[in-house]
Amino acid sequence: MLETRLDLDRIHAARRVIDPMFLDTPMYPCDALGRRLGCTVHVKLETANPVRSFKARGTELVTSLLAGQGRTDVVCASAGNLGQALGWSGRRRGLNVTVVASRRAPVAKLDRIRALGAELELVDGDFEMARERAADIARERGIRLVEDSLDVETCEGAATIGLELAGAESTFDTVLIALGGGAMATGVGYVLKSLLPGVEVICVQPVGAPAMTRSWHERRVITTESTDTIADGVAGRYPIPAVLDDLLAVADDAVLVHESSIIAGMRMLLEDTGLVIEPSAALGVAAVLEDRDRFAGRHVVTVLCGGNVDLDAYQRWVRR
């Protein structure tokens, strides 16, 4: 019995609340990519939806709950993807959505948050500064603050990916999950450890944003002064204790990868699968690139968690 904040029955129930558009996403083998990586590779594609990331799985739950409680307003901090997802789910349920983001977030993400009708407030600092400002707004206005990874619905939403992996026909032995705040890693990890305990759950974070990975290895919260990575979606500095506890219960490993590997991963995914993904979604491929021996001959699934990227930056990264 895994001791976490997660619960299989609730995760199954979540599937009935989430718009089917965000569920049962494509999962398929990529032979060419596997040949290059020296292992069998399936991708689980979370970018083919209106918000281009898995985050709506969680915001569908959160906003459904809020609407049921008669709430009218909600605020979140976002690196860019949660804000879009909350904008989408909130609009559908008549909620006024406010998103706080860093001015340094990709323009594409900020534009799309606005386009979804959310009120966008920018802060000069990084994601952690946006988190503080969002909390202030929630207090000032007396409205609900959605906290990614801390609010269990965000983990349960992501965990529905785990149900889909566990129900897949293919028999994989490893799942590679991008690690940021931890909602996806704990959610997917919990389901896999519950239903397919033999599958290794490996979390991947950039060397330039290692707070959660270091915390996992030291089994206590480690914060960092700054972050330095193109993988903007996972660049937090203050791990949440309750999420770390869950991660300790469900992850088999947490590894760090270099920017060059993330870029190589994005390029390979474009060349071998035709998919444009954001840096965070290339973390899994990057992990294989940095430790080929470990993955040789194995059957890995890598979750392509998001595809929100500034095209100019993307072109620079993938150009040879």
Asked whether position 7 contacts its own copies by CB under 8 A, the answer is no
Q: Which stretch binds its own copies (CB under 8 A): 5-13, 237-245, 288-296, 308-316?
A: 308-316
**Residue 93 and residue 95: Cα distance in Å, rounded?**
6
CA angle 270/51/56 to nearest 5° reads 120
Q: How far is CA 146 from CA 60, 149, 267, in A?
A: 12, 9, 34
Asked whether position 89 contacts its own copies by CB under 8 A, the answer is no
Q: Which amino acid is at 69?
A: Q
CB 17 within 8 A of CB 58: no
Asked whether position 309 contacts its own copies by CB under 8 A, the answer is yes
Nearer to its own copies, 55 or 193 (CB): 55
Q: Which amino acid is at 138?
A: A
**Mask: binding to its own copies, 153-182, rule CB under 8 A, as x and -?**
----------------x-------------
DSSP 306: B
Contacting residue, 3, 13, 26, 260, with its own copies by CB under 8 A: 26
Least separation, in Å, of the C-beta of 125 and its own copies? 28
**Mask: binding to its own copies, 275-294, rule CB under 8 A, as x and -?**
xx------------------
| Radius of gyration, CA atoms only, the chain | 18
Asked whether position 311 contacts its own copies by CB under 8 A, the answer is yes
* SS3 state at 183: helix
Nearer to its own copies, 260 or 315 (CB): 315
**DSSP letters along 29-70, please?**
E-HHHHHHHTSEEEEEE--SSTTSBTTHHHHHHHHHHHHHTT
Nearer to its own copies, 274 or 297 (CB): 274
Asked whether position 24 contacts its own copies by CB under 8 A, the answer is yes
Distance of CA 225 to the CA centre of its chain: 22
Asked whether position 107 contacts its own copies by CB under 8 A, the answer is no
Asked whether position 48 contacts its own copies by CB under 8 A, the answer is yes
Where does residue 94 rank: exposed (0-12), middle (13-18), buried (19+ CB within 10 A)? Answer: exposed
Asked whether position 115 contacts its own copies by CB under 8 A, the answer is yes
Nearer to its own copies, 39 or 185 (CB): 39
- The residue ranges that bind its own copies (CB under 8 A) are 20-21, 24-32, 45, 47-50, 52, 112, 115-116, 169, 270-271, 274-276, 307-309, 311, 315
